[in-house]
Copies of this chain bind each other. A is one copy, B any other.
Amino acid sequence: MADIDSRLDKTQAQPIGVTTGPIRGSRKIHVASPTGSGIRVAMREILLEPSSGEPPVRVYDTSGPYTDANAAIDINAGLPELRAPWIRARGDVEEVAQREVRPEDNGQLGPDRSGGVPPFPNVRKTVLRARPGANVSQMHYARRGIITPEMEYVAERENLGRARLSEYKRDGESFGASIPDYVTPEFVRDEVARGRAIIPSNINHPESEPMAIGRNFLVKINANIGNSAVASDVAAEVDKMVWSIRWGADTVMDLSTGRNIHDTREWIIRNSPVPIGTVPIYQALEKVGGIAEDLTWEIFADTLIEQAEQGVDYFTIHAGVRLPYVPLAAKRMTGIVSRGGSIMAKWCLAHHKESFLYERFDEITEIMKAYDVAYSLGDGLRPGSIYDANDEAQFAELYTLGELTKRAWAQDVQVMIEGPGHVPMHKIKENMEKQLEACGEAPFYTLGPLTTDIAPGYDHITSGIGAAQIGWYGTAMLCYVTPKEHLGLPDRDDVKVGVVTYKLAAHAADLAKGHPAAQVRDDALSKARFEFRWRDQFNLSLDPDTAEQYHDQTLPAEGAKTAHFCSMCGPKFCSMKISQEVREFAKLQNQDSADFIAAEEAEKGMAQMSEVYEETGRELYMGSGGREHD
């Protein structure tokens, strides 16, 4: 990357390695809620060249304080607790001693906790829990007509200054979604009450900035991170989270397995401004030495409490993998590809009993409502290949997830539904339609889907194609896939490519749905492109560093940033330049002037600029990289 601001803060006793500093060309702003409640919503503002006369462009910002030039970051202390006063003000929580950390929580058989990850230094002694009989879920408040500060925050966050956009005509196709022109706190409350949106917000994760997942809001994306059996650098682990949200991840799943799983999670949550999701069965499996058959309800329930107390915002629970569905999966090309799903299938078969996740689902819900942990009902039987897409096993489970959704809603617990997987394009829509029908419009959260199996190494793209489509059809959150999918472990660059790919897919979906705030950024960037404001074009893009780096590979000189042509077509062939002349000419015609714009003048300016152009002696693929193919 050209010049990522990835500094080590040498003033810390322990040097930290998380990436901080503003995104190039942007600044963090805090927009006051119009209700006058004092809530200030974090956004990012992209500043454009003063000479352009264009206003700054506000964009949705997931990066938290890390991109705030004025914020002091100390991962040993954790982030400020934005939501703590809101949570306490509701008067329905009690402070209790945190469940004691046991060696097996970190995957160790003995009492030794020296697995390489130090405990988080600022760890809480007490945690919050609903008072007996209380329910602290956002859905519970919503259904009682209460607009929480979280809902108000979400409303303003989704608007992005949308009140100014009344002139935009909306022309999307939203397939039955009900996206309003302007999001009010009451609209958010209503969507949460109906179960059409969730605001993952564990009361023990007050550091998080509220966000909504629902098909009438902007499409969100999730990035997966997680430590490994051999990782020892916890700062690097935190940085993976920070790096993901810098580029736009709306939530992060910690998929850690192996040792140090508890301590690593603590570090991540305390430093995360976005909701954190986990798959608790992974840790439960570690606690029984990796033997699926040895899993018990007690170990699982204890793990839920352990993680809920730490502040996990949503749990993937594979309660839809029922005993009778397992043989259906045995007929498949690629069987069960979900790890959680395969663990539960093995448990069911080994005991020849119904899944304890299914049988004790209401007890799980009891635990979750005491912390406002949201369900992410896992699709343990999702297809792992084009061949298996939309089969009996997959849809049998989906309808069970629908049944469980209603059981969770009966206790006012928030729910989203996980979806596939590998699905060819013509079978994607059926997934969305069946999900909406089976699960009462609970938000859909899909992995891709991958639209072909034949491109390992490029599965961020095979899945980005499917993700854009299913997001358009109504999926609320898209789980990213990196280029290393199916092959290996993504490094920092892979994570960034995965996040940016999914961000653009989500944005393509927002545009196609006709989201009223979406096209502002496209228009600003295209206008900058047409007016040869190169820096604005870079800064408005999802990845300004890469955009500038690519430009500079051919034309590194500073002058090329203001040149009225680019390396693709060169000065003589620039269609945008000619196009501007055409526009001028059309204007002149209207003014009854006969002459075409003085072409000589234009040529003179271009001749000057062509000196810049000639500086590059490298081999050029002339035209092939241009904005044109002819």
Q: Are A620 and B228 in contact (CB under 8 A)?
A: yes
Residues of B contacting A52 with CB < 8 Å? none
With the chains together, A334 CA to B457 CA distance in Å?
35
The yes or no answer to A110 lying at the interface (CB within 8 A) is no
From B173, B290, B334, B513, contact of A526 by CB (8 A): B334
Q: Are B582 and A490 in contact (CB under 8 A)?
A: no
The yes or no answer to A182 lying at the interface (CB within 8 A) is no
Q: Are B335 and A579 in contact (CB under 8 A)?
A: yes
A–B complex contacts, Cβ < 8 Å, 27 sampled: A223-B624, A224-B621, A224-B624, A224-B625, A228-B621, A229-B620, A253-B629, A291-B599, A330-B586, A335-B530, A338-B628, A345-B579, A345-B582, A346-B582, A349-B582, A385-B529, A387-B523, A418-B630, A425-B472, A425-B508, A447-B628, A454-B522, A456-B550, A464-B465, A488-B568, A489-B554, A489-B624
Q: Which residues of A451-465 have CB atoms within 8 Å of chain B's CB atoms?
A: 451-458, 460-462, 464-465
Using A255-B629, A455-B543, A489-B568 as known contacts, list a sample of 10 further A-B pairs with CB atoms less than 8 Å apart, ordered by residue number in A. A291-B599, A293-B596, A451-B468, A454-B504, A455-B500, A457-B549, A469-B469, A479-B629, A487-B547, A489-B567
> Which of A91-99, A185-193, A397-405, A533-541 faces chain B?
A533-541
Residues of B contacting A367 with CB < 8 Å? none
Q: Are A484 and B236 in contact (CB under 8 A)?
A: no
With the chains together, A543 CA to B514 CA distance in Å?
36
The yes or no answer to A219 lying at the interface (CB within 8 A) is no
Residues of B contacting A306 with CB < 8 Å? none
With the chains together, A485 CA to B620 CA distance in Å?
13
Query: Digit string of A209-243 for contact with B (CB within 8 Å is 1, else 0)?
Result: 00000000000001111111111010010001000
Q: Which residues of A364-388 have CB atoms within 8 Å of chain B's CB atoms?
A: 376, 378, 384-387
The yes or no answer to A573 lying at the interface (CB within 8 A) is yes
Given A507-B454, A530-B333, A542-B454: A226 touches B349 (CB 8 Å cut-off): no
The yes or no answer to A318 lying at the interface (CB within 8 A) is yes
Residues of B contacting A410 with CB < 8 Å? none
| Interface size of A as a range | 35 or more
Q: Are B490 and A625 in contact (CB under 8 A)?
A: yes
From B457, B479, B551, contact of A541 by CB (8 A): B457
The yes or no answer to A360 lying at the interface (CB within 8 A) is no
With the chains together, A621 CA to B452 CA distance in Å?
24
From B334, B453, B457, B621, contact of A579 by CB (8 A): B334
The yes or no answer to A21 lying at the interface (CB within 8 A) is no
